[in-house]
Structure 1
Amino acid sequence: MPSLHRHLVHRHARRILNKEPRDLAPGEAQLFSFYAPSLVGGLHNISVNQTITAPAEAGSKSTARRETKIDPLSQSFVVVAPRFALPPNVVDSVYPTPGISVAHTVLPHIVLKDPHLPWSRAPSDAHITPEEDKNNVRSRTTWLALLVFSVEELQLSQGQIDRVMGNLPVEIDRKQSETKTLKIIARQTTKLNDIEGLVNTTGFDTTLDAKDADEPTEIILLSGSLFTDLFVDPEGPTEIINVSSYKYMAHVRKIATDGMANAGADSDEALFSCVVSPRTGPIDADESSMMIAHLVSLKWDKDMRYPKSSDLVAMTSLYSWTYTCLSSKNVASTRDLLTNLGQHLSVLRTGKGDEDPASGKDKEQVDLAALIAARRRDGYTLARHRTATGEITAAMLRGPLVPRQVKHKIDGMPMQSNYGHDLAIFDPKFGLMDTTYSNAWQLGRTLAMADNAFCAALTRLREPVHAFSLDSAKKDVHALFGDDGHGSRQRHAARMVDLVKGLNRINDSMHTLGGSATAAGPNRWCHQDDDQSGVGIESLDLVSQSSPHIMPRIRAHASTAALHFAMAVNTDGHVKGEKQEMYNEYNTPVNPHYAVVYSWVLDKIHLGNVPAHYLIPDPAFLPQETLRFFYLDTNWLDALVDGALSLANHWGAKPERDTTRTAIKEAINERLRTPDPALGGWHVQMPRYGFLLRSHILTQFPDLSIDVKFSEKRENPAMMKVDPPANTPAQQPILVQKRIAPDTMYLLLDAAPPDLKRITLTLPPHQQCFKIGYNLTADTLSMTVRKTYTIENRPKAGATLGERHFKLDGTPVAAFNWKTRTLNPAIFSRYLVQQLGESREGEFEDKVPTSVVTALQLNESILQLDIGDAWATDSPEVTPLFQLSTLSEMGVSQQPPPIVPRPRLKMEPGFIRGISRNSTNLASRIDHSIPDRPVEDMANQLGFDMVVTPMGTDSQAFIPTNSPVPIDLIFRLTRKRVISWGEPLTRIIVGVPTGDMPPTDNDPTILKPLLAANAEPSTPTMLGNPRLNVLKRYPRENEKELQNHVVFELVPREQPGVAIDKITNASFKLPRAEIVSYDGVDERTASIKVFYEVWRNGVSVREDQFMHIGKVYLKACIK
């Protein structure tokens, strides 16, 4: 069951299995001048005619016998395409991104996910050069243009706004937006036609655009002079609007999406359309200024008039954003951001790692500082921690991403737990708990409980594994005796006839015996034991799963069952044969529930759905503009998985008894260490290394491309290698690439240095910056002309044709309009093709200017950050394969004890007395007398002991008096011996003496108090026994024996009471107890009285003879 989190790995595996070649290798891109749909949006007409001719008869030279024509039929239809607003989520990215600052030479651009969109409509024939696009297979005029404006060019006064919107309903907002647009409804644009001094280009047609009539749209208003400067051909008639040159500012890119977080989410290849603005920012400006970019429609009303310079021209804006254009001075460029990242490489931890702890400190401070520095180098941080008893303290922790490689399977610490608290580690040097692995365990359990599908699958997988293993273990034990008592359900059903006959024989024997017959006849209760030496009548448990003879065998059979469910169904649909393969997420599983569990576990090992604050526990780990490398702590991942698999544990009270969990882990381990021949003989790729990147460059280029190179000495596949399809690597280089914030991303790799040789960060080919040149002043535009080739094998020498300088006077060509800060696309493209073809026969032979050649020239140089051997250090010893920890690694004995044969029945001596081994008549041997209720030493027979200790210690020596603060007392009321009693327990009464301590201890009849005379104890709380509630009260008048006592009643939750043998611990805590004041040096003894009430004859009766006395010793210890 492939998951979205590991989509890169799954996509690569499917390509290997299906042998699908790729058109583009990683890092390649293919550019197209246009990508027009089959039919552009708008009105179309289709005509159909047919002529049917019957041929002449055989051997005849005459013409056709008959010819029939069907009159032509025509049908008009409208191709729907966006016009007044863009479809949702069609914009992939823009540059400059909103809010950032760039140089004035930058040409903004917008990237669209729909490669057809810029050509989905065509401009009106009235606004392009005649025959411009007819039969033109090299270029096509776009209906979209990206234009950049200053605020002053779009700002309107309130009077102008009221005049323009005078014919619109009053509920329309008459204010410009942040990007200086007016928001209206598409059908309302027709009301702009009658406004004096306004030219409306929107061209809404009530028939053709009826579908879009209620669609919200936005318009901008340009001055007539600016409009004509932008849309009049400088080489053509000055009174004719012409948008043909804008076709050179739009193109399509087909890219290989390897290493891209967003574009690579769905496919290895993607198509994007790109529209570039021909306008720059202000030239030679002294201050930064806000610029507004608008994607405008060039699909205009064909009957619109030519605007005057004083007119306002309304244009449809489909998308807009703002950015800041800096003056021609300081700016943090993309090159600076990449350079800064390369200069500040480090591992994931707090601090710089080069601090000297010994500077200006004494020895004790130095030792502490060195200890703290060591923990920081290991990636630890401090966090707030609440103990199990509620205290707030500090604890150390770290996440799964660590700066140093951690040894897997820590000695003496099994990663299998039922609660997770036992995975916390106390650091004796630091004096704090390390809660790293306990937090991971709890997180795994939480993530599992939040996933209903996983919980259901795990439960349904555990049940058959446990049932099969328990049944097989019982068969093994019974087989040792040659006993056929344990069999299948069908076998027992077949014996039902014999069972019924046996029951009838019991009735016959009872009638024969007459009055001496009992329900315990010889056939039912008596068994003639074989007289074998060394055979005792002690109990031998051969049925319970807790039996020492059953449990080890359950473990062995559980592993077999889980491994069976981890297999895949053979191609013939049967589970058979020695060549059966294990489930690998691309074949059919034997058990579908195992498939869910296996995929879920692999997702979590790849950090799927792990919250970001677990990955980065401290913000100081990842400052801004940093790149941090890390190893993955496999123990943390192990604990995470164990916490998840601990759910649905219905049988294992202790971790080592949860054999099903261990079996599932062993089945997963078997898959991880088994190479897969179908996928090239490789093992399952597991994450070992990676890095976190936090940089502003990710907000500018969301699809920042990342390429990794591995050593040639990297481990080869374990089996025969399968040749991958064209342009496909043998293994997926990047396992996971995920953005956790707009400026933060992490990568997971399956190799660490020295196997990992190089990481390269490259600006994405569809999100790169466009610049008009390297320098633009008030009278000169300077650029470097790059070589472009029309051949596949290009020469290595020379990447440019030198520099070109365009002057304000129009030399060498008028490629740039300084008045409007606008590139003349047509003039520039023709000049560029002419320059590329000069003296370059055999290298560039194209004569037709296209948008691709223009885009390659305006595209800024592709910047890369190359991280090579300089950062790679010697790798420590590593574990070649990831494996989950199991019971076999915990030192748990897997061997059952030897079985000694025994009789089939053990008689309890408390019920059946004086039975000889050769008895045949049990009825005559039964003692029918009922013993009297014992009256002496009843509390001892109930088995309760009372001990009172201060909280935090198990010492029974004494309770300190004269403490400056109240003390929490623990009343430990426990039973060491579990003895049944025939009547339910309804109440336990504990009396604690209060008062002043007598001056002497000579008179034993004088009460020695535990609590002060004026003590007001808080309400106590039970400790670990949910069957009881504890209540506080004072003695009643008829309770003479409890006067001068505080009474605590332990009342069962169930009515009328609870069986005494179910109460083994009735301990409770008395918080903030005020101990009696006593300064003597001799110990004093206080007596705690404990009474018990039972349910008898419908009422609760106190048995005074049950009273139990607990001794408490008091002593002054604080002066």
Structure 2
Amino acid sequence: MSPSPQHPARDTIPLGDIELHDNYLPALPAGDYRAEVTHALRTGQDDHAPVVGDTFTATQSFTVRGPQVTIDTGAVVARQPPDASTGRFAEVLPHVVLGDPMLPWERALEGAPPGTPWLALLVLTDDQLVGGTDAPTRTISGTVGQFLASDAAVLKPELKLEADLGDADPCAYIQVAATEFHAIAPRLDELRFLAHCRGANTGDRPILGLQEDGLFAVVVASRFPADAPPGSTTVTKNIVHLVSLEGHEKLLVDDPNFQGRTSVALLSLASWSFWAYPDLQADFADLAEGLTRTPDGAQAGREEMWLRLASPYPDGDATPAPQRHVARRLNDGYVPLPYLTRSGESTYGWYRGPLTPVLPVATAAAAQATTADALIGYDLAWGGFDLSLATAFETGRALALADAAFGQHLLAFKHAARNLVDTLYHQATSNHLPEDGDGPRTARAAFGALLDGSLLTTLGTPPGRPTDPWSPPTPAAPPADPAQALEDFLRSDTTRATLTEALADGDGLAEHFAPVVQWLGRLMLLYPVPFIHLVPDERMLPKESLRFFHLDPSWLDALVSGTLGIGAQSSRDTLQGQFVAASVRAAAARVAAAHRATLRGTTPDDPDPGGAAPEVSGLLLRSALVSGWPNLAVRAVDPGGAELPILRMDHLAPNVLLCLFDGLPAMVELREPQEGFRFGVEDHGVIPLRNMLPPRPPANLRLGEQIGTSVTFPVLDHLRTGTSGRVLNLDSLVPALRAALDAAHGTTVGPIGPADLAMQMVKVPEAIHFTGPDGDRG
């Protein structure tokens, strides 16, 4: 079966905007079906004509498969509040974002209308759960048979398993006290308001291996988290479970019959926990604001946001020369590291990775180096070694040798290039082959010229006796310096042009050229480079920090030189490699520029073949923002406000994010993902009402824009009575919200659906902007 086409939402919706939909219904919900076809032959065209013989009947049974007891581990894109987080979450309705936009509606609940999800999000505390004490979220791991086994104390769902499931299949479930389940579980007619579908542009997000199509399903809880009373310093643990309600439809009413059971068993498809704190702690705004502060809590200046070690000495005229030298080195991004020379002496060397706080100056030596020693710098004035480019060379060499598949392709490519050069050189120097116009001399061209001449006429003429004695052609005199002659040939414009053309479509070259440049393209984006080579000292990137950098092109050149240097057996190989390397580097750079677009399945912009190599910059973020918001949005713009392409955005660790931009940004924005923003109420339990109609005079408000700062609605006035927690009473909330919207708009806005409720209850994604000096450098 071919995959479904990608939804246009991911690229057509402007960055930062979202689309809200009530649902995304499948053509057929999951379950077992039977198709029956009957055929009857009649004596005439009239429907009442007698039937001839028996009626023919054909029956075909089939099953529409869908998740029932488990979902894929990668199905959950985001959780809100984040897993294991602590913060002021009492006014936030927990919700989960699912990568499959159809998942909440793939199964049907008995007695529920179309558009009712089979999933619900339950917010619980430890005292409401039974068993499962060995798991942080009180989940019980077992088999389907154990889950469905009859229990006098536990009410099990009336579940009809799909044909591909058996009693031995694994599952996870929870047991909720019966009275607590009745208090917090949504009613059957409320369920449709607790799930909706969101569309968002995913161009500013890490890919994370997701099947990203721009549409996401969101399941929202109807209960606010439990927290301690105002003024308390106690954190309250909340446990969230995404559960299946299939088979429990009879309990989703005002007066359910628990059949004498004290608890209810529910399949748990995903779970997490968080802690609600009365005071503002680790929410998005606080974490983002913390990125702009030094470890002692002071406001960080622009100079402190670069990726480098803090210098203990000022770089001023009053500073002694040795200390000022150290300050300048540290400010330029260098780190002093122990260095053992080849002669066995222990000293130190300066090292700077590819991520630098200053705009580096490119050097041609890095692209032409054949050994790491050729790239060791020595400061005669201070007696110090600069080992940055030498380390890059050795890193590239080690990475290439560690990848057997790449090594085979590279050696095969070099061997094919050598054979091609030998053939071209033989053609250029052989006196047995005549010239073919302006082209190279080849045996094929010589034979073609013979056929075009008098060969056929000569063959039809009786042979005559030769009058002159025959002697073989005199071989050409060998060059006085064969090595120099070959070097001159390699340096010729004709040879270079032929090699360049052969890289694209030459026999034996193109086969190995493509995998070589693909590997090098990833290398130029630093994928296989160890993190210790990027950030050699942990103090450069402390906890809860954001650091900006430039990408050093000389470091990348040395990295690629080390990679391409493996397998060189002679000076001829080295020289030949230098001529081929230019084309290889250019092709690898194009692969690197298109890498992220290729992963996302989009078409990259065509680079300007005559333009200068773009400056690459980026950021490293080490923060709970990365782990708490794995789909964190990052956007960079140039001084003119145009979006800068993102070359790479990846998690290097659960709390470390690396971004590379194609250019130098004037502004960088970190923002909560549009599909995973918060959902809840503002202070005092109210929400600002938003416009639900097309723009109209006099306000001309856009869809979703707030009607006014004072136009609010008291959500917390519509809670269930008689429960210990704050659970929304949607039967009361939805009609009251519709009346408030009618009054605010001055006209009837129509029925309120799940998407409308989501738009009213949404809390705008929070964001933080970082601007460069004078707004022109990031």
Q: Deviations over 1:381-440 (max 9, x none)?
A: 022323223444321111111111111126xx4642333122111122332211111111
Q: Paired residue for 2:81?
A: 96
Matching of residue 688 in structure 1 with residue 616 in structure 2: yes
Q: Paired residue for 2:462?
A: none
Q: Deviations over 1:726-781 (max 9, x none)?
A: xxx8xx711111221112112212212xxx33322221012222223323xxxxxx
Q: SS where residue 637 of structure 1 aligns? A: helix
Q: Paired residue for 2:694?
A: 791
Matches within 5 A, 1:929-944: none
Q: Paired residue for 2:600?
A: none
Is the 8 Å Cα contact of residues 188 and 249 (structure 2) preserved in structure 1? no
Q: SS where residue 787 of structure 1 aligns? A: coil
Matching of residue 425 in structure 1 with residue 411 in structure 2: no
Q: Deviations over 1:149-203 (max 9, x none)?
A: 11122255xxxxxxxxxxxxxxxxx86533223333212234334x1xx241322
Distance change in 2, residues 1:444/1:543 (3 Å): farther
Q: Given the two structures, how large is their TM-score scaled by the length of structure 1?
A: 0.57
Measured in 2, the distance between the counterparts of 1:850 and 1:63 equals 45
Q: Paired residue for 2:668?
A: 759
Q: CA deviation at 1:72?
A: 5.1
Is the 8 Å Cα contact of residues 695 and 701 (structure 2) preserved in structure 1? no
Is the 8 Å Cα contact of residues 11 and 201 (structure 2) preserved in structure 1? no
Measured in 2, the distance between the counterparts of 1:481 and 1:840 equals 90
Measured in 1, the distance between the counterparts of 2:269 and 2:421 equals 66
Is the 8 Å Cα contact of residues 349 and 376 (structure 1) preserved in structure 2? no
Is the 8 Å Cα contact of residues 348 and 401 (structure 1) preserved in structure 2? no
For 1:614, the aligned partner's letter is H
Is the 8 Å Cα contact of residues 241 and 269 (structure 2) preserved in structure 1? yes
Q: Deviations over 1:784-820 (max 9, x none)?
A: 3231324278526854463646498x5xx55787633
Q: SS where residue 46 of structure 1 aligns? A: strand
Measured in 1, the distance between the counterparts of 2:108 and 2:725 equals 25
Q: Paired residue for 1:737?
A: 649
- Corresponding residue pairs, total: 711
Q: Deviations over 1:29-80 (max 9, x none)?
A: 2222111222223343433234567987xxxxx9999976845555554433
Q: Paired residue for 1:1117?
A: none
Measured in 1, the distance between the counterparts of 2:219 and 2:551 equals 42
Distance change in 2, residues 1:309/1:366 (3 Å): farther
Q: Deviations over 1:906-959 (max 9, x none)?
A: xxxxxxxxxxxxxxxxxxxxxxxxxxxxxxxxxxxxxxxxxxxxxxxxxxxxxx
Distance change in 2, residues 1:713/1:767 (3 Å): closer
Is the 8 Å Cα contact of residues 37 and 58 (structure 2) preserved in structure 1? yes
Measured in 2, the distance between the counterparts of 1:673 and 1:86 equals 40
Bigger Cα displacement from structure 2, 400-409 vs 557-566: 557-566
Matching of residue 151 in structure 1 with residue 102 in structure 2: no
Q: Paired residue for 1:319?
A: 270
Is the 8 Å Cα contact of residues 294 and 321 (structure 1) preserved in structure 2? yes
The partner residue of 1:31 within 11, 14, 20 is 20
Is the 8 Å Cα contact of residues 711 and 744 (structure 2) preserved in structure 1? no
Identity of aligned residues (%): 21
Measured in 2, the distance between the counterparts of 1:188 and 1:220 equals 12
Matching of residue 620 in structure 1 with residue 539 in structure 2: yes
Distance change in 2, residues 1:258/1:249 (3 Å): same
Measured in 2, the distance between the counterparts of 1:185 and 1:606 equals 45
For 1:749, the aligned partner's letter is F
Is the 8 Å Cα contact of residues 624 and 695 (structure 1) preserved in structure 2? yes
Greater Rg over alpha carbons, structure: 1
Matching of residue 659 in structure 1 with residue 575 in structure 2: yes
Measured in 1, the distance between the counterparts of 2:223 and 2:500 equals 66
The partner residue of 1:834 within 739, 747, 768 is 739
Matching of residue 185 in structure 1 with residue 111 in structure 2: no
Q: In angstroms, what is the RMSD of aligned CA positions? A: 4.2
Q: SS where residue 770 of structure 1 aligns? A: coil
Q: Deviations over 1:269-303 (max 9, x none)?
A: 42221111111222543311221111122112567
Q: Paired residue for 2:459?
A: none
Matches within 5 A, 1:487-566: 542=479, 545-546=482-483, 548-556=484-492, 558-566=495-503
Q: CA deviation at 1:638?
A: 0.7
Measured in 2, the distance between the counterparts of 1:312 and 1:185 equals 19
Q: CA deviation at 1:373?
A: 0.5
Distance change in 2, residues 1:47/1:773 (3 Å): farther
Measured in 1, the distance between the counterparts of 2:562 and 2:219 equals 51
Matches within 5 A, 1:839-854: 839-840=744-745, 846-854=749-757
Matches within 5 A, 1:550-949: 550-556=486-492, 558-567=495-504, 591-652=510-571, 658-668=574-584, 682-683=608-609, 686=614, 688-712=616-640, 733-752=645-664, 756-775=665-684, 782-791=685-694, 795=701, 799-800=707-708, 802=710, 804=712, 806=714, 813-814=718-719, 819-840=724-745, 846-868=749-771, 870=773, 872=775
Q: Paired residue for 1:896?
A: none
Structure 1: which 5+ residue stretches go unaligned?
Answer: 1-14, 57-61, 157-173, 233-241, 495-522, 530-539, 570-574, 576-588, 715-728, 776-781, 876-1119
Measured in 2, the distance between the counterparts of 1:663 and 1:784 equals 66
Q: CA deviation at 1:634?
A: 0.9
Measured in 2, the distance between the counterparts of 1:118 and 1:678 equals 34
Q: CA deviation at 1:704?
A: 1.1
Distance change in 2, residues 1:154/1:428 (3 Å): same
For 1:592, the aligned partner's letter is E
Q: Paired residue for 1:444?
A: 396
Measured in 2, the distance between the counterparts of 1:264 and 1:482 equals 58
Measured in 2, the distance between the counterparts of 1:765 and 1:807 equals 23
Measured in 1, the distance between the counterparts of 2:86 and 2:707 equals 30
Distance change in 2, residues 1:774/1:54 (3 Å): farther
Is the 8 Å Cα contact of residues 92 and 224 (structure 2) preserved in structure 1? yes
Q: SS where residue 107 of structure 1 aligns? A: coil
Q: Paired residue for 1:378?
A: 332
Distance change in 2, residues 1:493/1:260 (3 Å): same
Q: Deviations over 1:658-694 (max 9, x none)?
A: 2221121232467699999995563487552222222
Structure 2: which 5+ residue stretches go unaligned?
Answer: 1-5, 293-298, 449-470, 595-602
Q: Paired residue for 2:417?
A: 465
Matching of residue 455 in structure 1 with residue 371 in structure 2: no
Matching of residue 250 in structure 1 with residue 239 in structure 2: no
Q: Paired residue for 2:207?
A: 262
Distance change in 2, residues 1:152/1:599 (3 Å): same
Is the 8 Å Cα contact of residues 158 and 247 (structure 2) preserved in structure 1? yes
Higher relative contact order (CA 8 A, sep 6+): 2
Matching of residue 387 in structure 1 with residue 341 in structure 2: yes
Q: Paired residue for 1:406?
A: 360
Is the 8 Å Cα contact of residues 393 and 558 (structure 2) preserved in structure 1? yes
Q: CA deviation at 1:639?
A: 0.7
Q: Deviations over 1:490-539 (max 9, x none)?
A: 89999xxxxxxxxxxxxxxxxxxxxxxxxxxxx99xx999xxxxxxxxxx
Q: Paired residue for 1:915?
A: none
Distance change in 2, residues 1:863/1:481 (3 Å): closer
Is the 8 Å Cα contact of residues 45 and 76 (structure 1) preserved in structure 2? yes
Measured in 2, the distance between the counterparts of 1:38 and 1:334 equals 39
Q: CA deviation at 1:21?
A: 11
Q: SS where residue 320 of structure 2 aligns? A: helix
Measured in 1, the distance between the counterparts of 2:400 and 2:82 equals 39
Q: CA deviation at 1:370?
A: 0.8
Q: CA deviation at 1:350?
A: 3.1
For 1:734, the aligned partner's letter is I
Measured in 2, the distance between the counterparts of 1:686 and 1:733 equals 11
Q: CA deviation at 1:121?
A: 1.6
Q: SS where residue 646 of structure 2 aligns? A: coil
For 1:191, the aligned partner's letter is A
Matching of residue 281 in structure 1 with residue 281 in structure 2: no
Q: CA deviation at 1:375?
A: 0.2
For 1:246, the aligned partner's letter is L
More helix by share: 2
Is the 8 Å Cα contact of residues 349 and 380 (structure 1) preserved in structure 2? no
Q: SS where residue 838 of structure 1 aligns? A: helix
Is the 8 Å Cα contact of residues 225 and 309 (structure 1) preserved in structure 2? no
